[in-house]
Structure 1
Amino acid sequence: MTQTITAPLLQMHGISKAFSGVPALRQARLSIAPGEVHALIGQNGAGKSTLIKILTGAYKRDSGEILFAGEPVHFTTPLQAQKGGISTIYQELNLIPLRSVAENIFLGREPRKYGLIDWFRIHADAAALLDKLGIVADVRMPLNQCNTATQQMVAIARAVSLHARLVIMDEPTSSLDEQEVETLFRVIRQLKADGVSVIFVSHRLDELYAVCDRVTVMRDGQTVAEKSMQDMDKLQLVTTMLGRELASTVAQAAGEEIKPDETRTPVVEIKALKSGVRVNDASMAVYPGEIVGLAGLLGSGRTELARCLFGADRVDQGDILLKGQKRAWQSPSDAIAQGVAYLSEDRKIEGIIPDMSVEENLTLVLLPRLVKLGVVDRKQQQVIVQRFIERLQIKTAGPKQKIRELSGGNQQKVLLARWLCAKIDFLMLDEPTRGIDVGAKAEILTLIRELADDGLGVLMIASELEELTAYAQRVVVLRDGYTVRELSGSQISEDNMMAAMANATAKDNPVAERAP
């Protein structure tokens, strides 16, 4: 009797891609079996999105081979990949909100009768498809009247109707609640039972173990691990993603824990904060003159928490206290008026205004105070700009130079100066050293330390754990939107942070215990 060996549905070998000479993928690989749910994970910049875009024809690979169903493929457009049996469901759904559920499922492929759209068949086929997947929805209802979970299911139903053999799901649970996630998982298991393979991109570790068979881990554009989920525990996943080898798997650090001086009033304190689906129960405090690190995997709620503290996202539950007083920001302008500042992770999109000068970018927040009788006091503006150029050692041809012409590190210094000249008490920094060279990185981190020494309260979000180890007095670890550990003194180590990211729960949170 001959043993039947099932060939992989998808094989990607030696995939390389560079943008302007900078490698994004280096000999990456990915293999998916028929009827398999496969996790694809890695931090920002690991290469996941680039690999998927090469597979689906959005990018052209520089080298490597792709085999799908045993045949070499070279898709040049996402539509070509879709016709070839690969369908992608993006985090931001690419459906048409004002069209009905049924229309979205069969968009561009509407069945016709006598040259006209056969609406009876569209509605009947859509209802049958949703019923097969166990989805309850009115197929005639406009999509924008459905909740997010139903919209996600409609995208899956569309993929199934296209006879997809491989469905790629990019962060499909990012905007779903717990019950909706269970519905999604049930549909994924149904797809698996029907022989459809799924690539599941997510940063929520518990979800990976709940629904995935195997995992591929990427780091720095390379595939660094391919294993069965049951052969890789959470701690191994975290350390593989971050590229750190644990000297010990013990979560508790040796040495005495150093508590913050609770006789002082925190500049900012949050208690049991909840916002949307990303921030579930976060508690922490930042004291004047202190740098508090905020650690967690991508998707843990770090940025969302900072946006809540800046008034950019709505707070559903919990309290924010500024210098001991409860506050409820309605907008970022409210937070700024109270001395709260936020330096976004994406300085090019949410920070600089590229075609404006260094001078204009630096004084943007301060501008209302520089206006007298509707006219900007240019002399005072120039004095302030020159002072901060010298203080922060910003390398520029002059205040009138366009900020887009500066290096990444100097752009970041201008954004720091923007907040410092506004006389703030609390500064949040989201990945302040991302995308800048090593020398500028050291300058930025030294400057942050000096600002804290001058009495500023600083909350620093960083994926580079060694930065938190070197510069933070305390580190708060988030996992799935919950504060799960607070580390201080000798407890602050990369090993302890990774252990908390992998295995700690809300019950391990000492901040919650001492909150009244």
Structure 2
Amino acid sequence: MAENMLEVRHVEKRFGENVVLRDVSFALAPGEILGLVGENGAGKSTLMNIIFGMEVIRDTGGFDGEILLNGEPIDFKSPIDALDAGIGMVHQEFNLIPGFTAAENITFNMERTKQSVISSIFGKKYATIDTEANIALSGESLDTLGVAIDPRGMVSEMPVGHKQFIEIAREITREDVKLIIMDEPTAVLTESEADQLMAALKRLSDLGIAIIFITHRLREILNVCDSIVVLRDGEIVERRKNEGLNIDQIAAWMVGRENGIRPEAREERRKASEEVALSIRNLAVDMPGEQVYDVNLDVHEGEILGIAGLAGQGKLGIANGILGTYPVTGSVEFHGEPLELGNTNKILKSKIAFVSEDRRGVGLLLDEPIYWNISFNAMQVQNKFVKRVLGMRFRDEAEMRRVSDEYIQSLAIKTTGGDQKAGNLSGGNQQKVCLAKALCMDPELLFVSEPTRGIDIGAKELVLNALEKINREEETTIVMISSELEELRSICDRIAVICEGRIAGILPATEDPRKFGLLMSGEKVEVDTLE
């Protein structure tokens, strides 16, 4: 029998020309708890999708390398194959049926049944569900986790922490479970619930169940994991036993890449004003997966302020709430005047622009030409590109095309011309069109969310240079939300870190990168005030 339960050998994965995993290798013994950490975009989710047989991997050309389970090569075609092989996965998003009880969710598709006269003749699919047996079975799994949850209770009426335990209980109820992948299982838990889960993981480990534990809470890694793997930019930068490690070390491994910082570019920029351009108080945003609970933040006139944070912690919710994409409460003032939150048109008229992280869903008119996309908001909100002839209003197509061509040239948008449909551009060029669309409004304040997501290195540099240029030459105040800490450090004056829906702290961009890693993981460090 193989010594290792799971072996990952030289795994590589690319999406088109974008390489997201490079030569990833590690092994996992039965009962071992492995902590997998890394910044957003490091490749953690892609690696887990490969192991669990998610369709997105097969649909994008599969992967290179080899994965062995108990010494035998595997290449699952779907998660069903992974489940049948004894691998379970607890996703960040719940996969529960609200109208079912806890027991019904835990035993779904694994129900104990009673044989009847009809089933003895026509087969098992005609058997009746043994409700009491399923309640007992689910109760055993919940007991193994050490949580007091009524198997008969309706999931729709349960707190979010109980739902997470029900997800885990379902995975350990499967026959012959060997490995459970847990993707941020404590993100929705209170501190006491997280402690319960840590104890439950150790019990599962004692039963011989191996666990891959993904979390941004680095203290949990130290408390429960036997070993640690750190991914950075798709490569393993550290792989070692959890012996003598500390949070500072792990945070430094995660963020690294100090040679990617451009402090000389930041120092050359003029000093931002002490005046407050945007004042945010008690902001709460109901954005699924990125909820904001109580954000207080001041943005100074003329600065580039970064907002950093791990996935699901709320960084994307701030701009989306202010601009009216999702329900919002609290107060926001721009140049001392209150904004009417939720009224997108009025906010845009206030000389505020927004580049959304969802460029295809929110940012672009995919079936319209590039010149239309670039000029559309400026035309609709500010009456630009409108001319009057005999008292009638007409679009100034010539001016729309002229301005579009200027942005195509300055941002190096690779296109056949302004008439090409936005939907036919590559992701990086779509991102540049979104930025041009915002800049066309001559904003005094620009929110830009994940501006370099999914684009190549050359395009990233172009976008960052463009942001620096408008900040320097047009004195545009910029709030940049990004999963890429090093990009924020290369362009921003200050960086606010959001954790669990609140600002954990604000640091100068030149600060030690380990401090940002600590703030992202929920640890306290010495930081600035909200001013």
TM-score range, shorter chain: 0.7 to 0.9
Residue 433 (structure 1) aligns with: 452
Deviation at 1:139, TM superposition (A): 3.0
Residue 389 (structure 1) aligns with: 405
Is residue 510 of structure 1 aligned with residue 521 of structure 2?
no
Would you say the 8 A contact 1:363–1:381 is kept in 2?
no
Residue 320 (structure 2) aligns with: 307
3-state secondary structure, aligned to 1:307:
helix
Which among 231, 236, 239 is matched to residue 223 of structure 1? 236
Partner Cα distance (1:332, 1:447) in 2? 25
Would you say the 8 A contact 1:320–1:327 is kept in 2?
yes
Would you say the 8 A contact 2:323–2:342 is kept in 1?
no
Partner Cα distance (2:345, 2:217) in 1? 32
Residue 112 (structure 2) aligns with: 111
Partner Cα distance (2:253, 2:25) in 1? 16
Residue 6 (structure 2) aligns with: 10
Partner Cα distance (2:529, 2:502) in 1? 11
Going from structure 1 to structure 2, the CA distance change for 1:143 and 1:482 (only over 3 Å counts) comes to closer
Q: Deviations over 1:58-78 (max 9, x none)?
A: 346544333323444443321
Partner Cα distance (1:332, 1:427) in 2? 14
Would you say the 8 A contact 2:6–2:70 is kept in 1?
yes
What letter is aligned with 1:432? P
Deviation at 1:403, TM superposition (A): 0.7
Partner Cα distance (2:254, 2:313) in 1? 14
Residue 251 (structure 1) aligns with: none
In the TM superposition, what are the counterparts of 1:368-387 in structure 2 within 5 Å?
368-369=380-381, 378-380=394-396, 383-384=399-400, 386-387=402-403
Partner Cα distance (1:378, 1:210) in 2? 66
Would you say the 8 A contact 1:386–1:399 is kept in 2?
no
What letter is aligned with 1:77? S
Is residue 329 of structure 1 aligned with residue 329 of structure 2?
no
Identity %: 33
Deviation at 1:88, TM superposition (A): 0.8
Residue 250 (structure 1) aligns with: none
Going from structure 1 to structure 2, the CA distance change for 1:64 and 1:413 (only over 3 Å counts) comes to closer
Residue 270 (structure 1) aligns with: 280
Under a length normalisation based on structure 2, what TM-score does the superposition of the two structures give?
0.80
Q: Deviations over 1:169-201 (max 9, x none)?
A: 112233344444344334333323333222111
Would you say the 8 A contact 1:312–1:331 is kept in 2?
no
Residue 171 (structure 1) aligns with: 184
Would you say the 8 A contact 1:204–1:480 is kept in 2?
no
Would you say the 8 A contact 2:144–2:200 is kept in 1?
no
Residue 450 (structure 1) aligns with: 469
Partner Cα distance (1:505, 1:193) in 2? 29
Which among 344, 364, 373 is matched to residue 352 of structure 1? 364
Under a length normalisation based on structure 1, what TM-score does the superposition of the two structures give?
0.82
Residue 211 (structure 1) aligns with: 224
What letter is aligned with 1:237? I
Deviation at 1:79, TM superposition (A): 1.3
In the TM superposition, what are the counterparts of 1:279-318 in structure 2 within 5 Å?
279=292, 282-298=295-311, 301-314=314-327
Question: How many matched pairs?
Answer: 490
In the TM superposition, what are the counterparts of 1:16-55 in structure 2 within 5 Å?
16-20=12-16, 22-55=18-51
Q: Deviations over 1:219-253 (max 9, x none)?
A: 23322211233433333323323342699xxxxxx
What letter is aligned with 2:425? L
3-state secondary structure, aligned to 1:417:
helix
In the TM superposition, what are the counterparts of 1:41-80 in structure 2 within 5 Å?
41-58=37-54, 59=57, 62-80=63-81
3-state secondary structure, aligned to 1:169:
strand
Residue 211 (structure 2) aligns with: 198
Would you say the 8 A contact 1:300–1:479 is kept in 2?
yes
Deviation at 1:156, TM superposition (A): 1.0
Deviation at 1:128, TM superposition (A): 3.7
Which among 250, 253, 268 is matched to residue 237 of structure 1? 250
Would you say the 8 A contact 2:370–2:404 is kept in 1?
no
Which among 119, 125, 132 is matched to residue 137 of structure 2? 125
**Structure 2 residues not aligned, in runs of 5+:** 117-126, 261-266
Would you say the 8 A contact 2:322–2:342 is kept in 1?
no
